[in-house]
C-alpha cells in the first residue's frame, strides 16, 4: 500500500542517504458490543475481517469493551467498525470521544445491526444514515449494484436477512446497492430500497451495509469484497511520509578565482542557502530543491567550500575541497 523512495548520493561526496521510513500499517478497531439481540455470526464475522486485514495490509483489534472509546485510544486507529452491534453501547463520554474522532477526519463502517444501535443518539443516526425497522425471514434476493466494481455484478443475487429501515437514507447518502422487493417476500420500502451506502459525515467518512446476518455471509467471496471496499473507504487515502530533509548533491566549479556551486536537496521547501569559503559568505538562490550561487573572487590556494541550508527545524551542511586558481 505504500512505497519508500531512496535518494542517491552524488559523486560520493556526502554521507549515504537513509531510506524513507515506511508509513505505519493502517489499523482498525472492530467493535462488537451488544445490549440487544446478539448475532451468532459475530465470531465468524470478526475472524473474516481479521483475515481481510492480514491479506490486504491493515491490522485489526476486536473488542466489546466500550471503555476503548477515549480520545487517546481511538487516536491510534484509522477507522472503527461497528460489527453487528445492537442497542445502547456507548455512554455519554464515549459518544463524545467517538464524535470527536469522526470529526477529526476518521472513518466508520457499520455492518448489519449497526443500524439497530443507539436509537437515542441523533448524531449516530446521521452517521449510519437510517435506523432499522424490521425484517422478514432469511431468504435469497436480488440486489441492484449502482456502481459495479471490485468484482461485484450489476445484479447480485445472495441470501441474507434483509432489513427494512425507518426512513430512506437516499437524500443524504450515496447509495451503493438497492434490493429488488419483487425478488423476495417481506420488503417494506417500495421500489427504492437502499441496502448499502456511503457518505461523508461531520468531517469523516461513513459506510454501511445491511448484509452480514448469517455465518455463511462471512465466507462468501463477493460479500467479503463488498465489506473490504467499505473498510478501505473508511481508512481513507494513505499518504506517503515526507522525505527526511537532506542534501543529495553538491557540485563546485572554480573559474577565475570564483567558486560556483549547485546543490540539490529535498524535504526542505522553505530552506535558505549560504556558501561559506573562509571568511566569505555568499547567499544562494533556492528553488525547487536546487540551490545555486557564486562566490566573489578569492585568494589563490586550497580552501573548503561549505554549503549551509537552514529552515524551520532544519540545518543541513555539505562540504568539499576546492583549489582557487
- 215 versus 8: the higher-pLDDT residue is 215
With a cut of 60, say whether residue 160 has pLDDT above it: yes
**pTM (global) more than 0.85:** no
The pLDDT tens digits of the residues spanning 23-81 come to 579 999 999 999 999 999 999 999 999 999 999 999 999 999 999 999 999 999 999 99
Rounded-to-integer distance, Cα 272 and Cα 289, Å:
11
With a cut of 60, say whether residue 10 has pLDDT above it: no
Instruction: Give 250's contacts (C-beta < 8 A, 6+ positions apart).
Output: 10, 11, 13, 14, 261, 262, 263, 305, 307, 318, 319, 320
With a cut of 60, say whether residue 176 has pLDDT above it: yes
Which region among 4-13, 39-48, 82-91, 150-159 has the lowest average model confidence (pLDDT)?
4-13
* pLDDT at residue number 186: 97
CA 280 and chain centroid, separation: 49
Region 177-188: what's the mean pLDDT?
Answer: 97
* pLDDT at residue number 4: 31
The pLDDT tens digits of the residues spanning 95-130 come to 999 999 999 999 999 999 999 999 999 999 999 999
The pLDDT tens digits of the residues spanning 206-257 come to 999 999 999 999 999 999 999 999 999 999 986 555 567 888 889 999 999 9
Query: Residue 86 gets which letter from DSSP?
Result: B
Q: Which three cell numbers stand for residue 153?
A: 455484478
Q: In percent, how much of the chain has pLDDT > 90?
A: 78
Amino acid at each position: 500500500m505504500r512505497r519508500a523512495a531512496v535518494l542517491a548520493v552524488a559523486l560520493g561526496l556526502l554521507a549515504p542517504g537513509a531510506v524513507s521510513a515506511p508509513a505505519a500499517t493502517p489499523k482498525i478497531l472492530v467493535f462488537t458490543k451488544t445490549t440487544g439481540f446478539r448475532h451468532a455470526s459475530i465470531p465468524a464475522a470478526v475472524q473474516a475481517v481479521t483475515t481481510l486485514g492480514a491479506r490486504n495490509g491493515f491490522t485489526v483489534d476486536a473488542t466489546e469493551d466500550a471503555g476503548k472509546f477515549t480520545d487517546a485510544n481511538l487516536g491510534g486507529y484509522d477507522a472503527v467498525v461497528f460489527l453487528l452491534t445492537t442497542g445502547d453501547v456507548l455512554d455519554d463520554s464515549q459518544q463524545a470521544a467517538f464524535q470527536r474522532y469522526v470529526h477529526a477526519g476518521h472513518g466508520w463502517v457499520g455492518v448489519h445491526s449497526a443500524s439497530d444501535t443507539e436509537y437515542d443518539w441523533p448524531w449516530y443516526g446521521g452517521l449510519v444514515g437510517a435506523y432499522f425497522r424490521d425484517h422478514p425471514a432469511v431468504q435469497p434476493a436480488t440486489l441492484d449494484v449502482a456502481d459495479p466494481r471490485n468484482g461485484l455484478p450489476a445484479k447480485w443475487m445472495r441470501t441474507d436477512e434483509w432489513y427494512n429501515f425507518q426512513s430512506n437514507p437516499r437524500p443524504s447518502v450515496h447509495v451503493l446497492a438497492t434490493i429488488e422487493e419483487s425478488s423476495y417476500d417481506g420488503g417494506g420500502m417500495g421500489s427504492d430500497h437502499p441496502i448499502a451506502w456511503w457518505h461523508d459525515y461531520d468531517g469523516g467518512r461513513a459506510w454501511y451495509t445491511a448484509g452480514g446476518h448469517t455465518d455463511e455471509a462471512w465466507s462468501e467471496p463477493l460479500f467479503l469484497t463488498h465489506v473490504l471496499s467499505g473498510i478501505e473507504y473508511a481508512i481513507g487515502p494513505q499518504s506517503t511520509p515526507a522525505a527526511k530533509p537532506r542534501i543529495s548533491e553538491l557540485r563546485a566549479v572554480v573559474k577565475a578565482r570564483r567558486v560556483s556551486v549547485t546543490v540539490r536537496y529535498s524535504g526542505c521547501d522553505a530552506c535558505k542557502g549560504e556558501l561559506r569559503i573562509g571568511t566569505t559568505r555568499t547567499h544562494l538562490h533556492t528553488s525547487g530543491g536546487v540551490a545555486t550561487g557564486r562566490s566573489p573572487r578569492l585568494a589563490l590556494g586550497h580552501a573548503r567550500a561549505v554549503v549551509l541550508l537552514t529552515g524551520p527545524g532544519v540545518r543541513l551542511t555539505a562540504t568539499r575541497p576546492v583549489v582557487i586558481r
